[in-house]
Chains A and B, each alone.
Chain A
């Protein structure tokens, strides 16, 4: 759950880029850093960082997840906020590290790290209180909030709060908005048929809004939904709404 009291704006923060953004969506990570820097916050990106450990955690391989998590704890030692452009990875560090390290020698360090974790949109809205000015063309946007942002981090409304500041952005609400897109990490691989049925419905509902743009705070969901959009474009000749991480979308529309 998001903090009830937010700390004052810090001078310096850590940025945890996530492995998915590192390898597939680096532009989202760069945009997030630029958004943060524009608010006159010094961003530190420890180059040693790798992955939060969630894939192994969700697959039941806790020792393997802990080994990776333990490395991250070492790479983010300072007592400053850690901002993460993903509800899912933020949720892993904030809510699951305490479970993963329960009774371990470095439990205190894990708890300390967990307490410093912020999801990006949460940080922009609640801590930095950003004021955005829209420089873009009029556009209709659908928002997909990831389940982890919604339910683990409790930051479901932050994207809408940010988009609400953009005068030329019209948010279109899709049916079954709060329902999972069917990604679920290894779920998409282990239960491909169910996952496919879920993403088929998700794309259907987003298309029905007429929005030409989709934003989310999680690249896992984006990979799933935009992959399905692209497939449907290739095989069924349907137009594919543009799918972007919220950071990338915000930066594109607001930097001069």
Chain B
């Protein structure tokens, strides 16, 4: 047996933590119920999904033009646009802006792209404080963790854990497990930080090419604070987030929060079209947008894999995944966990690093069923499984294609294929197998750890139907 991989070890560890598992189950149950309650009319839901899919697919089909249009309009509005091929380039751009302003700290609204960039770590290595202000992100940052869910980053933590953490990190604040009091403490601490922060950072949910507008969805107001209070605002986003028209926004805004947390709408929907104007009294005087590729243009080059880029990061696939609910977000060892991570990470980072994830799916289809933009996630998992073992690696843009092809496994599938496409061989094999069924071991490795071994029948269906005289042509 090969040495267990890091993923295997993490999965086993996660499955062993029954309390955390129960916690995840409860959390996902709530999110699933909330979503279901938002869509009482299935026909309306399906129509909205089709519309959202069309909006995103349309945007992707015009992606280079829309990016240029977005850049032109943002520039006209006074926003400075930067392009980055890699996360390192993106980090350098952020650093450069900060250095220009002699900024020693940055306050952040929630941004998965900044997680993808490893921005906090990058800045901290250079002596710059990067502070998360989303309550969930703030909590996990206190504990030196990464998000376990893309929209509820601290979902793996219980109230008791958070209470203890607050007391440990802020000994001056009396211990409490009252959520309102904990929240009030976080507000006070972060208010002072917002007050003083020289630079704010945010992600982008949608970027409107037609108007040069950056849209942000949030509940807490930290997104507004991060993009309003500090004199400099830096937004980071993947190149795929652009949509063509302003009229594309309402349907996407209608389906995103309902799919994500089961809210009809988030508390705030923030549409930013530029820095502070001469006669305005607040808002940043500088706004920057960093457009990050990091493998997206490679994904773009394949007509099937392209669907991955339709994602609007609602997390519904995660909430409905029977694998995620059991192993939690950290086991994936990736920035994006769950089904979306399973398809995105191996494409972004290559199959050598994250190729194992594509086995972590029973292909049950729950993710594809709820995806608001109809990404066929199971089909893409299947495609990546193919990419990982295919021989014609020149026909896919996926990095490290073919590198998971193992000679023994390939030989078994070839033998199986040969037998199952030659009926006489198959029937001989089937008959022989059933005749020798007593020899099948009762120990089938992992299968029989929790199940008994299946028993071969005395006679195959082929034999029985022949005996019954069923027409066989």
Say whether A and B bind each other: yes
Known A71-B421, A187-B363, A191-B359; judge A227-B446 contact (CB<8 A).
Answer: no
Give chain B residues whose Cβ lies under 8 Å from the Cβ of A178.
366
Known A50-B426, A191-B360; judge A67-B421 contact (CB<8 A).
Answer: yes
- Establish whether residues A61 and B410, one from each chain, have CB atoms under 8 Å apart when the complex forms: yes
Please choose the segment from A40-48, A115-123, A134-142, A161-169 that sits at the chain B interface, where 4 or more of its residues have CB less than 8 A away: A40-48
Q: Is B454 an interface residue (CB 8 A)?
A: yes
Give chain B residues whose Cβ lies under 8 Å from the Cβ of A15.
470
- Establish whether residues A60 and B389, one from each chain, have CB atoms under 8 Å apart when the complex forms: yes
Q: Is A128 an interface residue (CB 8 A)?
A: no
- Establish whether residues A194 and B416, one from each chain, have CB atoms under 8 Å apart when the complex forms: no
A:12-69 near B, CB below 8 Å:
15, 17, 19, 21-27, 29-30, 33, 42-51, 53, 55-65, 67-68
- Establish whether residues A60 and B382, one from each chain, have CB atoms under 8 Å apart when the complex forms: yes
Residue A21 contacts which of B15, B419, B461 (CB distance < 8 angstroms)? B461
- Establish whether residues B430 and A231, one from each chain, have CB atoms under 8 Å apart when the complex forms: no
Give chain B residues whose Cβ lies under 8 Å from the Cβ of A56.
413, 416-417
- Establish whether residues A65 and B464, one from each chain, have CB atoms under 8 Å apart when the complex forms: no
Known A62-B386, A227-B454; judge A33-B364 contact (CB<8 A).
Answer: no
Which residue of chain A has the shortest Cβ distance to B422 in the bound complex?
A71
- Establish whether residues A29 and B461, one from each chain, have CB atoms under 8 Å apart when the complex forms: yes
A15 to B433, CA, bound (A): 23
Which residue of chain A has the shortest Cβ distance to B465 in the bound complex?
A45
- Establish whether residues B468 and A192, one from each chain, have CB atoms under 8 Å apart when the complex forms: no
Residue A44 contacts which of B413, B462, B471 (CB distance < 8 angstroms)? B471
Residue A46 contacts which of B359, B414, B472 (CB distance < 8 angstroms)? B472
A:163-210 near B, CB below 8 Å:
178-180, 182-200
- Establish whether residues B451 and A49, one from each chain, have CB atoms under 8 Å apart when the complex forms: no
Nearest Cβ on chain B to A247's Cβ, whole angstroms: 12
Which residue of chain B has the shortest Cβ distance to A24 in the bound complex?
B454
B:421-473 near A, CB below 8 Å:
421-423, 426-427, 430, 433-434, 445-457, 459-466, 468, 470-473
Give chain B residues whose Cβ lies under 8 Å from the Cβ of A183.
362
Q: Is B369 an interface residue (CB 8 A)?
A: yes
Interface size on B, residues (CB 8 A): 72
Which one of A44, A57, A192 has the highest number of Cβ atoms from chain B below 10 Å of its Cβ?
A192
Give chain B residues whose Cβ lies under 8 Å from the Cβ of A30.
461, 464-465, 468
Q: Is B327 an interface residue (CB 8 A)?
A: yes
A49 to B457, CA, bound (A): 18
- Establish whether residues B388 and A180, one from each chain, have CB atoms under 8 Å apart when the complex forms: no
Which residue of chain B has the shortest Cβ distance to A64 in the bound complex?
B417
Give chain A residues whose Cβ lies under 8 Å from the Cβ of B359.
186-187, 190-191
Q: Kindly supply a per-residue 1/0 record for chain B positions 365-385, scoring 1 wherever the CB is within 8 Å of any chain A CB and 0 otherwise.
A: 110110000000001001011
- Establish whether residues A26 and B430, one from each chain, have CB atoms under 8 Å apart when the complex forms: no
- Establish whether residues A151 and B360, one from each chain, have CB atoms under 8 Å apart when the complex forms: no
Residue A61 contacts which of B368, B417, B460, B471 (CB distance < 8 angstroms)? B417
Q: Kindly supply a per-residue 1/0 record for chain B positions 83-98, scoring 1 wherever the CB is within 8 Å of any chain A CB and 0 otherwise.
A: 0000000000000000
A42 to B384, CA, bound (A): 42
- Establish whether residues B382 and A47, one from each chain, have CB atoms under 8 Å apart when the complex forms: no
A253 to B449, CA, bound (A): 34
- Establish whether residues A45 and B416, one from each chain, have CB atoms under 8 Å apart when the complex forms: no
- Establish whether residues B364 and A64, one from each chain, have CB atoms under 8 Å apart when the complex forms: no
Known A60-B389, A64-B417; judge A200-B322 contact (CB<8 A).
Answer: no
Q: Is A99 an interface residue (CB 8 A)?
A: yes
Q: Kindly supply a per-residue 1/0 record for chain B positions 392-422, scoring 1 wherever the CB is within 8 Å of any chain A CB and 0 otherwise.
A: 0000000000000000011001101111111
- Establish whether residues B450 and A64, one from each chain, have CB atoms under 8 Å apart when the complex forms: no
Q: Is A213 an interface residue (CB 8 A)?
A: no
Residue B462 contacts which of A22, A67, A190, A224 (CB distance < 8 angstroms)? A22
- Establish whether residues A55 and B382, one from each chain, have CB atoms under 8 Å apart when the complex forms: no
Nearest Cβ on chain B to A40's Cβ, whole angstroms: 14
Give chain B residues whose Cβ lies under 8 Å from the Cβ of A26.
457, 459-461, 463-464
Which residue of chain B has the shortest Cβ distance to A224 in the bound complex?
B451
Give chain B residues whose Cβ lies under 8 Å from the Cβ of A192.
445-447, 449
Q: Is B186 an interface residue (CB 8 A)?
A: no
Q: What are 15 sample pairs from A and B whose C-beta atoms fall under 8 A apart?
A: A22-B460, A23-B460, A30-B465, A47-B427, A147-B364, A151-B369, A152-B365, A184-B363, A187-B359, A189-B445, A192-B449, A194-B11, A199-B450, A231-B451, A231-B452
Residues on A lying within 8 angstroms of B by beta carbon are 15, 17, 19, 21-27, 29-30, 33, 42-51, 53, 55-65, 67-68, 70-71, 75, 99, 147-148, 150-152, 178-180, 182-200, 223-224, 227-228, 230-231, 234
Residues on B lying within 8 angstroms of A by beta carbon are 8, 11-12, 15, 21, 322-323, 326-327, 359-366, 368-369, 379, 382, 384-391, 409-410, 413-414, 416-423, 426-427, 430, 433-434, 445-457, 459-466, 468, 470-473
Among all A-B residue pairs, the 10 with the closest Cβ atoms: A184-B362, A192-B446, A227-B451, A60-B385, A180-B364, A64-B417, A151-B365, A48-B423, A147-B364, A26-B461
Given contacts A63-B417, A67-B418, A68-B416, 16 further A-B contacts (CB under 8 A): A23-B433, A26-B461, A29-B465, A30-B461, A33-B468, A33-B470, A47-B423, A47-B472, A61-B413, A151-B369, A186-B359, A198-B323, A227-B447, A227-B452, A227-B454, A230-B452
